[in-house]
Amino acid sequence: MIKVGTDDITKQHALYVESYRNGSSVPLLYESYTGKTLKTLADSVEYPMDIKLPKALSDMLYNKDSTPARILRIERQPVRRRISKDGEPTDEFIPVWFGSTANGVNLRFGYKNGDSRYLSTHALYDRSVHAFLGGATGQGKSVTLNNLIFNMCEEYPPWELELVLIDPKIVEFKAYALTSPLPHIRTIGATSDSDYVISALAALRDEMDSRSKLFALFGTKNIKEFRKATGLAIPRNVIVMDEVQTTFKNAGKRSRELIALLDDFARLGRSSGYHLLMASQEVSSDIPSDTLANIQIRGALGCTAPVSEKIIGNDEASIYYGKAPGNMLVNTNASQGQKADNTLYKVPYLSTEVQISVSKEEMRLSKEVNFRNPLNFYDEEDLITFSRYPGYLEKFPCNPNRVYLGEPSFVTKSPDKVLYLEFTSKELENILCMSYNSKNSLRTFLMLKENLLRYKGSYLHNVLCADSSFEETGNASELANSNNFYTDKTYLNNNFFSITESVIRRRKMLIKIDSSVFADPKTHELTDELFYKLVEHGSELDTKTNRSRCFYLFALLSENEEYQAMFNPQKRSPGSEEFTDLFAKLLNILLQMYKCYGCLDKMLTVSCLPAIFNWILGIDKVIGLGRDTKQRYIETLKKCMFDASTVNVRYVIFTRDLSEIRELVKATRWALFEELISGDQRAILGDSNYPPVHNNRLAMVVDMTQKSDNMCLKYKKTLFDDEIV
């Protein structure tokens, strides 16, 4: 065991490096540094202390209300137990949570020039709004970030400071949700998906806008003035973005949007109290030079000379490249490139054991004072399997008008944190499911089937299973029952298309007839005569409403070419025996439908019609009689898909090839897919942004009614039980 008997951090660090290389035990330098720092800084704070906690921003804005949500009474200096080198709490106590962020947030890098008499004096405030850290692999960037996070959370209480952690590597910040939670952290995004990062920054940007409006409402210009005027402890926010170059690289076309958001933070962050702390192992062309230019505090660990020059304006950090980790050069005037502006810090070593133990102390204090920021944790790697999927669905309200897709890969205000399709029966609501392999098609099918079978009494299903894999593995026939139609015959002349088209036509006719009957009820001797050939006098069907329906049905068949084409293809003359027989059969069908829908004596509307789903599983595998014949069916199907929106019918179409059915995209509201080739991207998304980097943990949905650059939304896939991604 190495004994350290000096406060000189340089000697301690040398001993640490030597011991580490020799495989010996490691001094817990974080506690040595932090204990002395916190004790030095806490001396001037007086207790008891009353903390006025603010209400929600929306409430303060709407009511111009600066009264506190509650007053938190702190009777004495909060303390935590010091942690031993083995990660165990000792009997020694360290003061914490004494700082105020009214003037800014201190960044405690370590001792200045290795001298324990001088603490780090750099702060995020209205002049130095943001910070950037860089360094080569193995030089201590992760340790430095963890040091800064823990130092901020020990100096400031969670009502003074909120943290947002963005981690494209997924593993670095996940510990703050699992093993080392801190009450200050409000959001952790453990994902390589830049769309999630952009949505998180956009939500924070909206908060900044609201704060700016709030400050103006009370005649103040910034967070410092507002706090002084109201006495409210409104917190500052620090957004820690690790591996920021990965975020820029993965953003693709949305990189401009990302840059615009960062510009907003540079413009509004200084007054509203939002600060960026960005870090990267690489400083490549993926990070715009203008973004770096707007950052005042820049720190470089050991790195190559070109990288050092990009970060701090000179090559001095290259001196420490390949040497012991933890040498940090900080420069607040990097544009001038002067080495004289560099300040050297030795970053303390924070072990995992100490991190976990300090976290427990922080959470204990949080419980004692009854304050913790609610945590929004997004873990890209936390995926559910189909064996758990029914239980997952049970978490959400049982709503037959919703299909739950999965956890969204973007920040949402929904407390359920789930992306769903919502049916309204008022607009086009057909679904196109596109995938280039059977496994992904089956995944989407099982997800939709599990959702819809949850509401067995709410839907009818007609199924054309042209791809045998849907039945062999997905049990597609489970969708059908005695009242539904199911076939696995793939020829175009099967009954599926004629049956589904007929249902849509009849429903349209019912609605069209009733819109006339209840607006202008009419009867006629001729149609009454036809009516009573079918209906007995005095029966339940013998009503004036139904006689009027008979009148308008006769008018439709006599005058409307669309219905003539369907029900009277030979255009038999009204009054002929053939016409009378056809009319009687059709009238009987329609009257029974009115009765079935509970509308014998009331107007039938779309809301009276039970929902129907027409499934075409593998439309690309339907066998036709040639391209022209198939194209005619596609045109007919497209018209049915458009008409379906008016009669509470929806189509769910699966395909592995869009080339022959791209016309159907126009009759689709939602497209579900995991990846698209360029031609299919244009067919579905047009000129909208498509993710440049495919993420095999995420699926995508496009809402065709949303004509925006960001119409493509991502959500976590559901995995097969034996699947690994």
**166 and 33 together in one domain:** yes
| Domain membership flag for residue 92 | no
Residue 609 CB-density burial (10 A; 0-12 exposed, 13-18 middle, 19+ buried): buried
Which token pair is 592? 């029974």
| Domain membership flag for residue 87 | no
Q: Do 16 and 29 contact (CB within 8 A), yes or no?
A: yes
Q: Distance between CA atoms of 155 and 353, rounded to whole angstroms?
A: 20
| Domain membership flag for residue 538 | yes
Domains of the chain: total: 3
pLDDT at position 569 is 45
Q: How many CB atoms lie within 10 A of CB 121?
A: 12
pLDDT at position 444 is 96
Q: Distance between CA atoms of 684 and 665, rounded to whole angstroms?
A: 7
CA 419 to each of CA 200, 301, 384: distance values in angstroms, whole numbers, following the listed order: 16, 41, 15
Q: Which helix (H) or strand (E) holds 93?
A: strand 89-95
Residue 340 CB-density burial (10 A; 0-12 exposed, 13-18 middle, 19+ buried): exposed
Q: Distance between CA atoms of 304 and 135, rounded to whole angstroms?
A: 8
Angle between helices 244-251 and 194-217 (to 10 degrees): 100
**538 and 621 together in one domain:** no
- Residues of the chain under the 70 pLDDT cut: 1-28, 114, 481-484, 490-494, 560-575, 623-626, 687-693, 708-710
Q: With b meaning 16 or more CB within 10 Å and e meaning fewer, what string describes 439-463?
A: ebbbbbbbbbbbbbebeeeebbbbb
User: Going by C-beta distance under 8 Å and a sequence separation of 6 or more, which residues neighbour residue 489?
Assistant: none
**174 and 305 together in one domain:** yes
| Domain membership flag for residue 261 | yes
**277 and 254 together in one domain:** yes
End-to-end distance of the chain based on CA atoms, in angstroms?
43
Angle at the Cα of 104 from the Cα atoms of 98 and 107, rounded to 5 degrees? 80
**129 and 260 together in one domain:** yes
| Domain membership flag for residue 721 | no
**706 and 647 together in one domain:** yes
**199 and 336 together in one domain:** yes
Q: Distance between CA atoms of 295 and 298, rounded to whole angstroms?
A: 7
**617 and 603 together in one domain:** no
Domain extent, residue 245, equals: 25-82+111-371
Q: Which amino acid, one-letter code, is at 264? A: D
Is-cis flag, bond preceding 27, omega within 30?
no
**505 and 591 together in one domain:** yes
Domain final position from 329, 345, 371: 371
- The string of DSSP letters for 238-281 reads EEEESSHHHHHHHHGGGHHHHHHHHHHHHHHHHHHTEEEEEEES
| Domain membership flag for residue 18 | no
Q: Do 420 and 402 contact (CB within 8 A), yes or no?
A: yes
**285 and 334 together in one domain:** yes
pLDDT at position 709 is 60
CA 685 to each of CA 255, 711, 712: distance values in angstroms, whole numbers, following the listed order: 18, 8, 8
**627 and 691 together in one domain:** yes
3-class secondary structure, 305: helix
3-class secondary structure, 651: strand
Q: Distance between CA atoms of 487 and 37, rounded to whole angstroms?
A: 75
Q: Do 379 and 174 contact (CB within 8 A), yes or no?
A: yes
- 58-61 contacts at long range (C-beta below 8 A, 24 or more positions apart): 58/210, 60/214, 61/210, 61/213, 61/214, 61/217
Q: Select from 113, 111, 11 the least CA-distant residue to 342.
A: 113
Q: How many CB atoms lie within 10 A of CB 523?
A: 16
**693 and 627 together in one domain:** yes
| Domain membership flag for residue 422 | yes
pLDDT at position 689 is 66
- 470-475 contacts at long range (C-beta below 8 A, 24 or more positions apart): 470/441, 470/442, 470/445, 470/617, 470/618, 470/654, 473/442, 474/442, 474/445, 474/446, 474/449
The residue whose two tokens read 């940007």 is: 205
Residue 429 CB-density burial (10 A; 0-12 exposed, 13-18 middle, 19+ buried): buried
| Domain membership flag for residue 586 | yes
CATH number of 63's domain: 3.40.50.300
Domain final position from 560, 589, 608: 608
pLDDT at position 4 is 35
Domain final position from 590, 608, 626: 608
Q: Distance between CA atoms of 309 and 312, rounded to whole angstroms?
A: 6
